C-alpha cells in the first residue's frame, strides 16, 4: 500500500543539501557518504516539491515531458516512496 497521496504536498526534508547543476539535481544523502543525481524527470519533479499538492506537481511535470500520465504517475509514486523512506522528503505539513 502506497504512502504517497496525490492530494498531499511534499517538500525536501529539512536540512537536506541539494543543488541544481546543469538542470539536474544533486542530493547529498544524509547519514551516508553518497550522492544522488536525479534524471531529467526526477529533477523536474524535485523542482515542484514546494508544498503544492502532488497532483499539481504531476500536472506541471506532464507539461514538459512527452509521457503518458499513467506511466508518469506510476514512476513518480515509486520515486517519491523511495525518497520518503530514505528521509529525503517529508509531507509539507510536517516540515
Partner 1 sequence: MAKLLRRLSIGPFSLVLDSPGESVSLDWGSILPGWQDVSKAPIEEAIVVRVTGTPGLDCEGSGNPASNLLMTVLGDEVVVRANGIRGHIVLDQGTTSADFELSSPAISLWAALRLSLTCATLRRPLLLLHASGVRLEGRVFIFLGPSGAGKTTVATALKGTGHTFSLDRVLVEQTNTGWIGHGTPLSDPEHLWCAEPAPIAGLFFLEQSDSISLRPLGLLEATRSVMTCLSTYPRHPAFDGHCLALATELCKSVPAFSLAFRRDDQFWPLILRPHGQGNQGGVST
Task: Give the footprint of partner 1 on this chain (CB under 8 A).
Answer: 15-19, 21-22, 24, 26, 28, 30-31, 33, 35, 37
**Residue among 16 and 56 whose Cβ is closer to partner 1:** 16
**Nearest approach, Cβ of residue 15 and partner 1 (Å):** 3
Q: What is the DSSP string of 45-81?
A: HHHT-SSSBHHHHHHHHHHHS---HHHHHHHHHHHHH
**Nearest approach, Cβ of residue 17 and partner 1 (Å):** 3
Q: Cα 7 to chain center, whole Å? A: 14
3-state secondary structure at position 72: helix
Say how far apart CA 20 and CA 37 lie, in whole Å: 10
Q: Which of 47, 58, 44 is nearest to 7 (CA)?
A: 58
**Residue among 45 and 54 whose Cβ is closer to partner 1:** 45
**Nearest approach, Cβ of residue 92 and partner 1 (Å):** 19
**Nearest approach, Cβ of residue 94 and partner 1 (Å):** 17
**Residue among 25 and 58 whose Cβ is closer to partner 1:** 25
Amino acid at each position: 500500500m502506497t504512502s504517497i497521496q496525490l492530494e498531499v504536498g511534499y517538500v525536501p526534508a529539512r536540512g537536506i543539501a541539494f543543488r541544481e547543476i546543469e538542470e539536474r539535481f544533486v542530493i547529498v544523502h544524509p547519514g551516508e557518504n553518497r550522492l544522488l543525481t536525479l534524471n531529467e524527470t526526477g529533477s523536474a519533479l524535485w523542482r515542484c516539491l514546494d508544498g503544492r499538492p502532488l497532483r499539481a506537481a504531476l500536472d506541471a511535470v506532464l507539461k514538459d515531458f512527452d509521457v503518458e500520465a499513467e506511466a508518469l504517475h506510476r514512476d513518480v509514486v515509486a520515486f517519491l516512496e523511495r525518497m520518503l523512506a530514505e528521509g529525503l522528503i517529508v509531507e509539507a505539513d510536517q516540515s
